[in-house]
Amino acid sequence: MAADSALTNGADSQRLRWKYLDRILSRPGPFTDPDWEPGEAVIEGLSRAKILVIGAGGLGCEILKNLALSGFKDIHVIDMDTIDVSNLNRQFLFRHADVGKYKADVAARFVEKRVKGVKITPYCGKIQDKDEDYYMQFAMVVCGLDSIEARRWINATLVGLFNEEDPDSLKPLIDGGTEGFKGQARVVFPTMTSCIECQLDMHAPRAAVPLCTLATIPRQPQHCIEWAHIIAWEEERKDITLDTDDPEHITWLFQKALKRAQEFNISGVTYSMTQGVVKNIIPAIASTNAIVAASCCNEAFKLATNSNPFLGIPETDNYMMYTGDESIYTYTFQHIKKPDCPVCGNLAKNLEVDSKSTLQEFIDSLAERPEAQLKKPTIRTEAKSLYYQSPPALEEQTRPNLSKKLSELVSDGEEVAIQDPAFQIAFKFKLVFKK
Partner 1 sequence: MLKIWSMKQKQQQDESAATGPKKKKVTAAQLRVQKDLSELSLGSTMKTDFPNPDDILNFTLTIEPDEGMYKGGRFNFNFAINQNFPHDPPKVKCTQKIYHPNIDLEGNVCLNILREDWKPVLNLNAVIVGLQFLFLEPNASDPLNKEAAEDLKSNREGFKRNVRSAMGGGAVKGQSYERVLK
Which are the catalytic amino acids? 212
158 near Zn ion, rule: CB under 5 A: no
> What kind and span of H or E run contains 27?
none
CB of residue 182 vs Zn ion: minimum separation in angstroms? Answer: 23
Count of residues near partner 1 by CB under 8 A: 79
In the list 53, 341, 353, 374, the residue contacting Zn ion (rule: CB under 5 A) is 341
Stretch of 94-102, 189-197, 313-321, 393-401 contacting Zn ion, by CB under 5 A: 189-197
416 binds, options Zn ion, partner 1, none, Cβ within 5 to 8 A by partner type: partner 1
Handedness of CA 4, 6, 10, 13 (dihedral sign): negative
CB of residue 419 vs partner 1: minimum separation in angstroms? Answer: 5
Residue 300 burial by Cβ neighbours in a 10 Å radius (0-12, 13-18, 19+):
buried
Please, which residues bridge with residue 87 across strands?
none
Give whichever of 164 and 326 is closer to partner 1, judged by the CB atom: 164
Identify residues 232-271 at the interface with partner 1 (CB under 8 A). 234-235
344 binds, options Zn ion, partner 1, none, Cβ within 5 to 8 A by partner type: Zn ion
163 near partner 1, rule: CB under 8 A: yes
Please, which residues bridge with residue 176 across strands?
144, 185
200 near partner 1, rule: CB under 8 A: yes
432 near partner 1, rule: CB under 8 A: yes
Are 346 and 191 spatial neighbours (Cβ–Cβ below 8 Å)? Answer: no
Q: Which of 303, 3, 365, 28 is nearest to 142 (CA)?
A: 303
Give whichever of 214 and 341 is closer to Zn ion, judged by the CB atom: 341
Neighbours of 261 (CB within 10 A): 21
CA distance linking residue 130 with residue 346, whole number of Å: 24
CB of residue 162 vs partner 1: minimum separation in angstroms? Answer: 7
For every residue of 244-301, DSSP letters joined together read TT-HHHHHHHHHHHHHHHHHTT-----HHHHHHHHTTPPPBPHHHHHHHHHHHHHHHH
Contact track, partner 1, 138-157, x by CB under 8 A: -x--------xx--x---x-
C-beta contacts of 102-107 below 8 A and 24+ residues apart? 103/56, 103/57, 103/60, 103/79, 104/56, 104/77, 104/78, 104/79, 107/56, 107/60, 107/61, 107/64, 107/77, 107/79
281 near partner 1, rule: CB under 8 A: no
194 near partner 1, rule: CB under 8 A: no
Give whichever of 242 and 432 is closer to partner 1, judged by the CB atom: 432
248 binds, options Zn ion, partner 1, none, Cβ within 5 to 8 A by partner type: none
Count of residues near Zn ion by CB under 5 A: 6
209 near partner 1, rule: CB under 8 A: yes
160 near partner 1, rule: CB under 8 A: yes
Are 116 and 68 spatial neighbours (Cβ–Cβ below 8 Å)? Answer: no
347 near partner 1, rule: CB under 8 A: yes
Q: Which of 306, 294, 216 is nearest to 33 (CA)?
A: 306
In the list 25, 111, 187, 198, the residue contacting Zn ion (rule: CB under 5 A) is 198
412 near partner 1, rule: CB under 8 A: yes
CA distance linking residue 229 with residue 238, whole number of Å: 11
197 near Zn ion, rule: CB under 5 A: yes
Give whichever of 111 and 344 is closer to partner 1, judged by the CB atom: 344
216 near partner 1, rule: CB under 8 A: yes
CB of residue 378 vs partner 1: minimum separation in angstroms? Answer: 5
> What kind and span of H or E run contains 3?
helix 2-10
210 binds, options partner 1, Zn ion, none, Cβ within 5 to 8 A by partner type: partner 1
CA distance linking residue 182 with residue 180, whole number of Å: 6
CA distance linking residue 206 with residue 316, whole number of Å: 30
* Interacting residue ranges for Zn ion, rule: CB under 5 A: 195, 197-198, 341, 343-344
